[in-house]
Amino acid sequence: MIVSSLNENYKVTHLANLFKNISLGVLGAFLTVFLGVMSVQGTASAIQDGVAMKTTKFITGNFIPIVGRTFTDAADTILSASLLLKNAIGIVGVIIIVFLALFPALKIFAIALTYKIAAAVLQPIGDGPVITTLNTISKYIVYILACLLAVTLMFFLAVVIIVIAGNVTLLLR
């Protein structure tokens, strides 16, 4: 798009639009596949862990004489405490992810806004290829911001699914 706006002889706007559409489609497809795989995997592993935990508790409680039930109750208490700790760590992790992504997102947004303001201020002076280029750069920096937010969302959801999977595991006990 920049080449097309700066040079009258070489126009590649249709190719640039094709690349943009393909990129946005691939990003959307990867986001969809990622969410689907993470959801199924988190739920399946949580159910599997819950069944294994129930089996272990049953075997321990019934086949170890005298201390089997006491050991099972102690394991229950430890698992409940670990659930509280894991939830607290998960919440802190989610907050850290938000703060880690917030600064780059604000920075990218500020850069896009700077280009947009520069294009708006310079347009009354003379509407030429430089103004169109600045506006194009601003638009594509917003696409970079969208990519950053999509990746942040994927990371955020991965942490949330891991925390929820642990809760489902302990819920099935």
Nearest Cα to Cα of residue 140 among 4, 16, 43: 16
- pLDDT number for residue 67: 62
Angle between helices 129-171 and 13-63 (to 10 degrees): 10
Side chain identity at 86, as an amino acid letter? Answer: K
- pLDDT number for residue 60: 60
Residue 12 structure tokens: 């590649």
Q: Residue ranges per domain, the chain?
A: 2-171
- The pLDDT averaged over each successive group of 10 residues in the chain (173 residues) is 79 86 87 77 58 62 63 65 69 82 92 93 84 89 88 80 63 51
- pLDDT number for residue 112: 94
At 132, give phi and psi (nearest 5°): -65, -40
DSSP symbol at 8: S
- pLDDT number for residue 111: 95
- pLDDT number for residue 114: 95
